[in-house]
């Protein structure tokens, strides 16, 4: 296919736009695309960072301090498992924690949620026993499920 503009070179550039239902398509060679200003258009690729996209749109680099790293906008970080505030790395706080975190942190599980988990595990065991044709074991597991559902401990 030949260039729509000069008619000499092969097409290397295809431009399509849809503005309010008005579709425009251009098939141009590299030279004509550059002459008509299509080479300066912002192109977004998946590997581009947010910072690069802003630079292409606005023609300038954003504030490097602001985008130097994820989460660097905050003066301090909260350590979620311990709940203590640690100063940001910019303030010399990276790794300056004086208290050691607890050796083991046990999350509190809602008793009702724990009961539902146990029932689901037992139901899976009951299905496996029934599939293996071990009906006595399946019946015993069924009784355990009923006891748990009725609030009895077995």
Q: Mind listing the pLDDT tens digit for each residue in 80-134?
A: 555 455 555 555 545 445 556 666 666 677 888 888 899 999 999 999 999 999 9
Share of the chain above pLDDT 90, in %: 19
Q: Report the 10 Å Cβ neighbour count for 98.
A: 6
When mean pLDDT is compared across 8-12, 71-75, 110-114, the lowest value belongs to 71-75
- Output the six-digit token pair for 62: 């954003």
When mean pLDDT is compared across 5-9, 51-55, 121-125, the lowest value belongs to 51-55
**pTM of the predicted protein model:** 0.32
Q: In this model, does residue 2 exceed pLDDT 80?
A: yes
Query: What one-character DSSP code corresponds to residue 90?
Result: G
Grouping H, G, I as helix, E, B as strand and the rest as coil, residue 41 is coil
Q: Largest alpha-carbon pair distance within the chain?
A: 87
Domain coordinates in residue numbering, the chain: 111-149
- What pLDDT score was predicted for residue 53? 63
- What pLDDT score was predicted for residue 129? 92
- What pLDDT score was predicted for residue 74? 47
Report the mean per-residue pLDDT for the chain.
72
- What pLDDT score was predicted for residue 64? 45
Q: Write the Ramachandran bin of 130: left for phi over 0, alpha for psi from -120 to 50, otherwise beta.
A: alpha
Residues counted in the chain: 154
Q: Report the 10 Å Cβ neighbour count for 30.
A: 15
Q: How far apart are CA 96 and CA 89, in angstroms?
A: 9
- What pLDDT score was predicted for residue 66? 45
């Amino acid at each position: 296919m030949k260039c729509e503009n000069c008619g000499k070179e092969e097409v290397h550039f295809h431009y399509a736009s849809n503005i309010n239902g008005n579709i425009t398509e251009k098939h141009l060679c590299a030279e004509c695309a550059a002459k008509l200003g299509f080479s300066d258009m912002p192109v977004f690729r998946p590997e581009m960072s947010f910072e690069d996209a802003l630079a292409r749109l606005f023609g300038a680099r954003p504030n490097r301090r602001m985008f130097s790293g994820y989460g660097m906008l905050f003066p301090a970080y909260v350590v979620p498992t311990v709940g203590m505030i640690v100063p940001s790395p910019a303030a010399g706080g990276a790794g300056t924690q004086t208290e050691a975190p607890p050796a083991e942190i046990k999350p509190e599980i809602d008793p009702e949620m724990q009961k539902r988990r146990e029932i689901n595990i037992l139901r899976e065991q009951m299905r496996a026993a029934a599939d293996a044709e071990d009906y006595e074991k399946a019946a015993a597991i069924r009784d355990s499920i009923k006891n748990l559902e009725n609030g009895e401990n077995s």
